[in-house]
Amino acid sequence: MSVTPDGWVDWAERVPGDRRKQNGGANTVQGFVAHSAEGWEDYLRKYNTNQAQYSSRNASWTFSNLLDGTLLQHFSIYAQVWASGAGHPNNNFVPMEHEGIVGQTLTPAQVQTTARVISELAAVGGWVPERGVTLWEHREMTRYGAAATACPSDRIPWADVLTLLNPPASTQQSRGRDMLIIGLANGSAYLVVGKEIHWIPNSDIYTDLEQAIYSDKPTEIDQATWEWLDTIGVKRAS
Same domain, 33 and 94: yes
Is the pLDDT score of 176 beyond 80?
no
Same domain, 75 and 190: no
| Domain limit, last residue, from 133, 165, 197 | 165
Which whole number is the average pLDDT over 149-166?
A: 94
Same domain, 27 and 120: yes
- Cis omega before residue 152 (within 30°)? yes
Q: Is the dihedral of CA 53, 58, 59, 61 positive or negative?
A: positive
Alpha helices in 2-138 (DSSP H): 41-47, 52-55, 87-92, 108-125
CA distances from 127 to 135, 181, 197 (A): 10, 21, 12
| Domain limit, last residue, from 136, 165, 194 | 165
Please answer whether residues 175 and 181 qualify as being in contact, where contact means their C-beta atoms are separated by less than 8 angstroms: no
pLDDT of residue 175: 43
Identify the domain containing residue 100 by its residue range: 13-165
Same domain, 222 and 130: no
pLDDT of residue 171: 45
Same domain, 143 and 177: no
| Domain limit, last residue, from 165, 180, 210 | 165
Please answer whether residues 213 and 179 qualify as being in contact, where contact means their C-beta atoms are separated by less than 8 angstroms: yes
Same domain, 114 and 183: no
- Please indicate, yes or no, if residue 1 is contained in any of the structural domains: no
pLDDT of residue 186: 62
- Please indicate, yes or no, if residue 37 is contained in any of the structural domains: yes
Same domain, 147 and 177: no
What is the per-residue pLDDT across 73-109, written as a single tens digit (0 to 9) for each?
A: 999 999 999 999 999 999 999 999 999 999 999 999 9
Same domain, 73 and 175: no
pLDDT of residue 234: 86
Q: How far is Cα 171 from Cα 144, in angstroms, rounded to an integer?
A: 38
User: How many domains would you assign to the chain?
Assistant: 2
- Please indicate, yes or no, if residue 179 is contained in any of the structural domains: yes
- Please indicate, yes or no, if residue 4 is contained in any of the structural domains: no
Same domain, 157 and 176: no
- Please indicate, yes or no, if residue 173 is contained in any of the structural domains: yes
Q: Model pTM?
A: 0.73
What is the per-residue pLDDT across 6-58, written as a single tens digit (0 to 9) for each?
A: 999 999 999 999 888 888 889 999 999 999 999 999 999 998 876 655 555 66
Same domain, 34 and 149: yes
Q: How is residue 153 annotated by DSSP?
A: T
Q: How far is Cα 181 from Cα 237, in angstroms, rounded to an integer?
A: 21
What is the per-residue pLDDT across 205-218, written as a single tens digit (0 to 9) for each?
A: 988 888 888 777 66
Please answer whether residues 142 and 80 qualify as being in contact, where contact means their C-beta atoms are separated by less than 8 angstroms: no
Which of the four pLDDT bands, split at 50, 70 and 90, describes residue 140? Answer: very high
Which of the four pLDDT bands, split at 50, 70 and 90, describes residue 174? Answer: very low
- Please indicate, yes or no, if residue 7 is contained in any of the structural domains: no
- Please indicate, yes or no, if residue 42 is contained in any of the structural domains: yes
Alpha helices in the chain (DSSP H): 41-47, 52-55, 87-92, 108-125, 158-165, 203-214, 223-231
Same domain, 226 and 126: no
Tell me the CATH number at 124: 3.40.80.10
